[in-house]
Amino acid sequence: MDRLHTMGTQTDWVVMIVYLVAILLFGSYFSKYNHNTTDFFFGGRRFSWWLIAMSIVATGVSSHSFVKYSAKAWEYGFSSSMTYMNDWFFIPFFMFGWLPIVIYSKIRSIPEYFEKRFSPSARFFVTILQLLYLVGYIGIGFLTMGKAILPLMPPSINLFGIEINITLMGLIIVIAFVTGAYTTFGGQIAVLFTDLVQGFMLLLAGLMVFIIGIDYVGGWHTFWNLLPTDWKLPLAHFNKPSDFNFVGIFWQDGIAGSIGFLFMNMGLIMRFMSAKSVNEGRKAAVFNILFMLPVSAIVVSGGGWIGKAMSMLSNSPIPANTQPDFIFVVVANIIMGPGIFGFVIASLAAALMSTVNTLLNACSAVYVNDVYGPIKVWLKKRNKNDKVDEKRALLVARIATVAFTVLGVLAVIPFSSYPTVYEAHGYFHSTLTPPLVIAIFLGVFWKKFTPAGVIATVIGGISLMILGAYYPGVLISPFDHGTPMDPVHPYTYIGALYNTLVCLIVGVIVTLLQKQFISIANRIKKGSSHNLIIVTMIILSSMIFSMVIFNIGGVQFLFIASLFMTLMISLISTYYIKYDPVIKTEGLTAGSIHRAKELFKGSKLNEREGDIVKVNWKLREDDEDFINLSKHDMNKMYAEEGDLVYVTDARKYLGGLKSFHSRFGKPHNEEGIIYISREHVKNGLLIKGRPLTAEKEM
Amino acid sequence: MPSFFNTWLPFIYLYGVGGIFFFTGMILIRKLKGIDMRKKKHRFWWKVMFFGYFYFMLIHAILIIAALYW
């Protein structure tokens, strides 16, 4: 480890500090565009697809990052790229199921969807899972950042005569402070715009390492021939070894990870929520998966591949004791000149920061919308339909960001026990995503899925998952596809298959038994001792869940007890929750997207596709939310009074930063002129004299 | 020469099992009317989604062949 300290030169440090300060200032500049929590969290639902796509690259690439993929590339070759090339299977579900529902239902968080679709109690359980997922992700981000920067630091520094040892945890605390401060004041708009720059820088840095590295080892031909055949294969060995095998990673990343990333990663969902329309969101998703992810696979793994080729040279410059997680930094240091190495590391650190920023922002969004808001309503300090005090909500969001930064640092502790970040992340994904993934998936695509089904999926599913973690040899091994079980970290990846299956089976069975549960619940309600029966079932369920958590009793007993507990929880949920499947599925399932659009608009849809018109604006001295275009322009747009319209500054390179949504008002006769209100000018950040374009939405 | 477990078995599993999920999704969005084939934009996305599946399949097949024979 000693040799992996104090890398880089003074020039590198200067470059790094200048880069990070520039990014901070750039992000802070955009904080002025946050007027309310919608801007702070979602960027005001106004941006073009390319800005969203670039921003997703910075988040996706950095979260899956140089450190962990270079580590696996160094150990196993080109198959490190497989996680970047297996995200297409769920794109139909996402583009024509989840994405339109997220946008048209106007939800501000995933838990809010669960309240609308099921019940407040379903929202409560999902909020807990969602926050655990996000905080865990932040922990992984901090750990990765620490591992990327640690090799650059000296073993200790002398501050005012005090010798301070630089440890991984100490470094992570400093990083967390900077990241938390930046997100607290910047919000989503700052994140989006810094991501745009960072997305480019990241791709540039990764490609530079790969291209300069190939030149270093003697050109493409030499590079290709240095690598053994096994390392050139794009997919790993089917089921060996335990720390990197195809089938485990397929279920952990390709299935649980892909659905998790597309359906429940609030950071990503918020990116799509900031898109100006569903179609722009689709463009961003497709562009990202088809083009950016394959490029990103090279960008993030390149350091490891070059490192492996270097290690095959007769005078290998790679230190013998290099740990996989440090390979990217080691390779970059060897092949880059002073200053360029600093740039590469700065863009890596900045990109990781951007991932963590997004997640912190998502955490505070979930907190404000799903914890702070409902608690206020519950304590009767506010009516459900009252307007939110925006200033107060923004302050709460900022305080929450600080709190989640601290929790993120604490989450680093369990993950640091894994040999590589890749395995820590793999275990995290296969454990935390299945219950929520199944709950969302069945909620969106299965109209019959009930609140009892969701709650049973979460509690019963988690109970069976905990048992799987305690008894992997009994419960997970039947699904292991021949992958060996590592006794220290058993079934890190293939565990995802077992976890997903048990959650799915619980959700489906409970929903299919719904009629029986309703009938039993009604009989209990009619009985004189209904309170006693329900309280007894709650106590029994809590006892069984505690026994599962603390592993009291054998696997057979606990497994049967978990099933029994799941049935009781389903019955309790059915007893308490009033659920009208007609109201609760309207506009909230994939089968009712047309209705979702009608609810979004508030009237009948006008889906004739018209032209986009370019117009000059004139101010109307009021604050009403409608615009006035000429009859001629409205005809060109096939627009009618009351239709929704998107108006933006005509300069396309702004990506929708200066824009607003409104409705068509009464037409006038001044062709090429749009009348807008003072509120539109303020929210759209419009500049006098600049032409606008108007586009009918629906 | 790497074994079948290292070359084509992962490929078949990826596009076989992954394909089950993908085509189920395609059928489901048609059945649930999430996608409306009367709309020009939706017809375009329908083709893009099919294209994506075979695009990744082709990339992986080429990379396996390149690793084995080039």
CA-nearest of A297, A245, A325 to A76 is: A245
pLDDT at A305: 92
CB contact under 8 Å between B34 and A100, yes or no, is yes
Chain A hits for B59, CB-CB cut-off 8 Å, are: 85, 234, 294
Shared-domain flag, residues A118 and A204 = yes
* Residues whose CB falls within 8 Å of the CB of residue A385, separated by 6 or more in sequence, listed in order: none
Mean pLDDT, all residues of chain A: 83
Of B36, B40, B60, the CB nearest to A234: B60
pLDDT at A409: 86
Query: Is it the case that residue A217 has pLDDT exceeding 50?
Result: yes
Q: What are phi and psi of A550, to 5 degrees?
A: -95, 5
Tell me the pLDDT tens digit for each residue of A492-507. 889 999 999 999 999 9
Query: Is it the case that residue A387 has pLDDT exceeding 50?
Result: yes
Shared-domain flag, residues A218 and A350 = yes
**How many angstroms separate the CA atoms of A402 and A395, rounded?**
11
Q: Does B26 fall in a domain?
A: yes
Q: Does A532 fall in a domain?
A: yes
Per-residue DSSP letter, A696: E
The token pair at A633 is: 């322009």
Chain B contact present for A91, CB below 8 A: yes
Query: Is it the case that residue A345 has pLDDT exceeding 50?
Result: yes
pLDDT at A384: 60
Shared-domain flag, residues A550 and A645 = no
How many structural domains compose chain B?
1
Size of interface A-B (CB pairs under 8 A): 127
Q: Which domain holds residue B18?
A: 8-69
Chain A hits for B14, CB-CB cut-off 8 Å, are: 86, 235, 246, 250, 254
Tell me the pLDDT tens digit for each residue of A406-425. 888 888 888 887 877 778 87
Bond preceding residue A667 cis, omega within 30 of 0: no
Task: Pick B51 or A359 by higher pLDDT.
Answer: B51
pLDDT band at A529 (very low <50, low <70, confident <90, very high): confident
pLDDT band at A3 (very low <50, low <70, confident <90, very high): very low
Give the number of residues written for chain B. Answer: 70
Shared-domain flag, residues A191 and A240 = yes
pLDDT band at A2 (very low <50, low <70, confident <90, very high): very low
Q: Does B3 fall in a domain?
A: no
Q: Does A675 fall in a domain?
A: yes
CB contact under 8 Å between B18 and A89, yes or no, is yes
Contact by Cβ (8 Å): A101, B33: no
pLDDT at A558: 95
Question: What interface predicted TM-score (ipTM) does this complex get?
Answer: 0.96
CA-nearest of A637, A688, A634, A682 to A659 is: A682
CB contact under 8 Å between A233 and B6, yes or no, is yes
Shared-domain flag, residues A621 and A486 = no
**What's the CATH number where A689 sits?**
2.40.40.20
Q: Is the dihedral of CA A437, A441, A442, A443 positive or negative?
A: positive
Contact by Cβ (8 Å): A680, A587: no
* Residues whose CB falls within 8 Å of the CB of residue A480, separated by 6 or more in sequence, listed in order: A239, A491, A494
Q: Does A432 fall in a domain?
A: no
Chain B hits for A232, CB-CB cut-off 8 Å, are: 63, 66-67
Q: What single string gives the DSSP state of each residue in A93-114? A: HIIIIIHHHHHHTT-SSHHHHH
SS3 A669: coil
Mean pLDDT of B36-57: 93
Query: Is it the case that residue A679 has pLDDT exceeding 80?
Result: yes
Tell me the pLDDT tens digit for each residue of A570-620. 999 999 988 888 888 888 898 888 888 888 888 888 888 888 888 888 888
pLDDT at A166: 81
Q: Does B21 fall in a domain?
A: yes
**What's the CATH number where A319 sits?**
1.20.1730.10
Say what percent of chain A tops pLDDT 90.
25
Query: Is it the case that residue A83 has pLDDT exceeding 60?
Result: yes
Contact by Cβ (8 Å): A165, A365: no
Q: Which domain holds residue A673?
A: 607-696
Shared-domain flag, residues A563 and A625 = no
| B-proximal residues of A, 591-610, CB under 8 Å | 591, 593-594, 607, 609
How many structural domains compose chain A?
3
Shared-domain flag, residues A561 and A622 = no
pLDDT band at A457 (very low <50, low <70, confident <90, very high): very high
pLDDT band at A131 (very low <50, low <70, confident <90, very high): confident
pLDDT band at A189 (very low <50, low <70, confident <90, very high): low
pLDDT band at B48 (very low <50, low <70, confident <90, very high): very high
Contact by Cβ (8 Å): A167, A143: no
pLDDT at A1: 41
Q: Is A344 left (phi over 0), alpha (psi -120 to 50) or beta?
A: alpha
Lowest mean pLDDT among A76-80, A131-135, A195-199, A384-388: A384-388
Mean pLDDT of A659-676: 86
Lowest mean pLDDT among A93-97, A164-168, A547-551: A164-168
**How many angstroms separate the CA atoms of A563 and A567, rounded?**
6
Query: Is it the case that residue A144 has pLDDT exceeding 90?
Result: no
pLDDT at A32: 60
Q: Does A391 fall in a domain?
A: yes
Beta bridge partners, A617, equal A674
3-state helix, strand, coil in chain B (%, to 5): 75, 0, 25
Shared-domain flag, residues A44 and A117 = yes
Q: Does A422 fall in a domain?
A: no
Shared-domain flag, residues A51 and A194 = yes
Chain A hits for B70, CB-CB cut-off 8 Å, are: 224
Chain A hits for B41, CB-CB cut-off 8 Å, are: 279, 609
Give the number of residues written for chain A. Answer: 698
Shared-domain flag, residues A111 and A185 = yes
pLDDT band at A560 (very low <50, low <70, confident <90, very high): very high
